[in-house]
Chain A
């Protein structure tokens, strides 16, 4: 069982993630269209990091996080590459979903 301080830190980090997602949602109304998909995959990366801090991220999630971290900036210089990366991510997660195990 984690201590109160660690639990409080986790809740606070979660709150910061919520702030990121909410301000992203608001920003997406005005910002370039491609920022939306970027913010969404960036949110997944942040969520995996948060899960990892609690020992809840398995090898699959860690591998996907590394993939996101490596490829997310394609959005700024290679739109086709960014799309291909998202397509691959979809397949990765779908296969995992089909396996039925987490």
Chain B
């Protein structure tokens, strides 16, 4: 598939089959995340991967936005100390989170290429997830990506047109006059 096809084929899925995801595929998803751009090349984030059903259920219990089922979770965590040490307040409060968002999108696109479904989730309680995963205070879960083999693929909801999206398009004057 071409990149644009993958972008358009990605859906936010919530219902998956019980089939487990091979470790090789999960590794590839992590690689896709690693290759995402990062402000200042700081890469102040890490990933927790959950494949054990009981652990997924626990995280789900404190994640109202996690609907349906999934066979794996990737929890993208900001390393706030590293982000601050190398990027200052903006690095800690904004850029590390933006980096995580871009990495999550890379995961979802690669998942689509591999025939996996995915969904990016922010509606979860960060403190609760941190307690469940025994994470230190400076490692903050920011996004969860739920994963699995799709049970079905829903139709894409409508999207805006380019004309409705670009609010300014400033170009050089083009003229054929000599």
User: A2 at the A/B interface (Cβ < 8 Å)?
Assistant: no
Q: Are B123 and A35 in contact (CB under 8 A)?
A: yes
B62 / chain A contacts, CB cutoff of 8 Å: 19-20, 23
A60-94 interface (Cβ within 8 A of B): 76-77
User: B157 at the A/B interface (Cβ < 8 Å)?
Assistant: yes
Q: Majority SS of interface residues in chain A? A: helix
B157 to A, closest residue via Cβ? A77
Per-residue 0/1 for B51-67: is the Cβ within 8 Å of any A Cβ (1 yes, 0 no)? 00000011011111101
User: A16 at the A/B interface (Cβ < 8 Å)?
Assistant: yes
B58-113 interface (Cβ within 8 A of A): 58, 60-65, 67
Number of residues on chain A facing chain B (CB within 8 A): 15
User: B124 at the A/B interface (Cβ < 8 Å)?
Assistant: yes
A14-34 interface (Cβ within 8 A of B): 15-17, 19-20, 23-24, 26-27, 31
Q: Majority SS of interface residues in chain B? A: loop
B64 / chain A contacts, CB cutoff of 8 Å: 20, 23-24, 27, 35, 39, 42
Interchain CA distance A26-B57 in the complex, whole Å? 19
Nearest 7 pairs of A and B residues by beta carbon: A16-B61, A19-B61, A23-B125, A24-B64, A23-B62, A19-B62, A77-B157
Q: Which residues of A contact B (CB under 8 A)?
A: 15-17, 19-20, 23-24, 26-27, 31, 35, 39, 42, 76-77
